[in-house]
Amino acid sequence: MSTAKAYAATSATTPLASTTIQRREPGERDVQIEILFCGVCHSDLHYARNEWSGMPPVFPAVPGHEIVGRVTQVGSAVTKHKVGDTVGVGCMVGADLSCPMCKKDLEQFCPNMVLTYGSPEKATGKVTYGGYSDSVVVDEHFVLKVPANLDLAGTAPLLCAGITTYSPLRHWGVTKGKKVGVVGLGGLGHMGVKFAHALGAHTVVFTTSPKKKEDALRLGADGVIISTDSAEMSKHAGTFDFILDCVAAEHDLNAYVQLLAADGTLCLVGAPDTPLPIGVFGLIFGRKSISGSLIGGIAETQEMLDFCGEHNITADVEIIPIQKINDAWDRMVKSDVKYRFSIDMSSLKSE
């Protein structure tokens, strides 16, 4: 075991604070990483504040699953990475790699998937600690290669917000000629806009924040609709092929079902805990679908990072020292993020 610096929550109602944690010694298939940046995902807050009934937090909780860093040590059997490589780690650090899901490169659906934080760790049985820390030890299979041309602070959010939006856009065949909506211009939403635009789709942003309109256009949207304006919403009824819903709170899904064309799909990636009511008739007329999507597999995450390398895509980030994390979380709850916080982990050195 070795000691790492971290920020942790000790209860659902206390702010995150500086602490030390134990990391395992790298095993033969493990990569030890010095964390340089970690993105701040709304899931970090849902988890630590006990907002998900299906995933109660284990305290102390160290969130963070948008990790970019440098390899400092590798186990004897590691072949994918070497000391000095710039690498990323997303929401998963383990899976059985032998089940039907893993064999289809869908490790995120493996019944034995291990989350980067809050899951029992395979090697030690202890709960995993995430990336709000200065180092981490991860099985090489779950460590991604970062294209050399990408800015590291803006790359960290690709490991969750990036893959979570890229994967459904690819799965549902978003391409040139399709009309695509992205609901909620936060961390996930702004990546969804960049990807839908890069894939050639006509991209429309739905936001509750009128002041984000110009940014949405700059990020690649062809149109912006203020979702509280029902007259504006109804002008687009029946016209969307695909809508990606990235909203972190309770909201009305029926308003978006109504905007789908026949055979269109509303895909939920935002994860509020409250059940959301659906009017069945809205689906029947037009054979419409509501679906969900969870991050993406490791091969697809690498594909997404390579796509970002080719198209020079990173997240728009506000870089913060770890000491500002509690303010950042409060701002995230108020939808006041442009458009992802990325923690500069060198700030942990002074703790």
Which residues of this chain interact with ligand NAP, rule CB under 6 A?
41-43, 46, 160-161, 164, 184-189, 207-209, 212, 246-249, 251, 269-272, 293-295, 332, 335, 337
8 A C-beta contact, residue 242 and residue 181? yes
CB atoms within 10 A of CB 177: 9
Closest contact distance (angstroms) between CB of 102 and Zn ion is 21
14: tokens are 């206390």
Nearer to Zn ion, 43 or 227 (CB): 43
3-class DSSP state for residue 231? helix
Nearer to ligand NAP, 158 or 271 (CB): 271
CB-count exposure of residue 213 (10 Å: 0-12, 13-18, 19+): middle
Q: How many residues in the chain?
A: 351
Nearer to ligand NAP, 31 or 337 (CB): 337
User: How far apart are the C-alpha atoms of 202 and 351, rounded to whole Å?
Assistant: 47
Q: Is 160 in the site for Zn ion (CB under 5 A)?
A: yes
Q: Is 43 in the site for Zn ion (CB under 5 A)?
A: yes
Nearer to ligand NAP, 7 or 339 (CB): 339
Task: Report helix, strand and coil shares of the chain as percent, to nearest 5.
Answer: 30, 30, 45
The residue at minimum Cβ distance from ligand NAP is: 186
At what angle are helices 187-198 and 161-171 packed, to 10 degrees? Answer: 40
Nearer to Zn ion, 89 or 110 (CB): 89
Q: Residue 73: phi, psi to the nearest 5?
A: -160, 145
Q: Residue 245: phi, psi to the nearest 5?
A: -100, 110
3-class DSSP state for residue 158? helix
8 A C-beta contact, residue 137 and residue 116? no
Asked whether the bond before 168 is cis by omega within 30 degrees of 0, the reply is no
Closest contact distance (angstroms) between CB of 287 and ligand NAP is 24
Q: Is 315 in the site for Zn ion (CB under 5 A)?
A: no
User: How far apart are the C-alpha atoms of 23 and 93, rounded to whole Å?
Assistant: 13
* From 128-136, 154-162, 269-277, 315-323, span contacting Zn ion (CB under 5 A): 154-162
251 binds, among ligand NAP, Zn ion, none (CB under 5 to 8 A by kind): ligand NAP
Closest contact distance (angstroms) between CB of 318 and ligand NAP is 11
135 binds, among Zn ion, ligand NAP, none (CB under 5 to 8 A by kind): none
46 binds, among ligand NAP, Zn ion, none (CB under 5 to 8 A by kind): ligand NAP
Q: Is 308 in the site for Zn ion (CB under 5 A)?
A: no
Q: Is 342 in the site for Zn ion (CB under 5 A)?
A: no
246 binds, among ligand NAP, Zn ion, none (CB under 5 to 8 A by kind): ligand NAP
Contacts of 163 (CB under 8 A, 6+ apart): 90, 295, 296, 300, 301, 304
223 binds, among ligand NAP, Zn ion, none (CB under 5 to 8 A by kind): none
Closest contact distance (angstroms) between CB of 26 and ligand NAP is 27
Binding site for Zn ion (CB under 5 A): 41, 43, 160
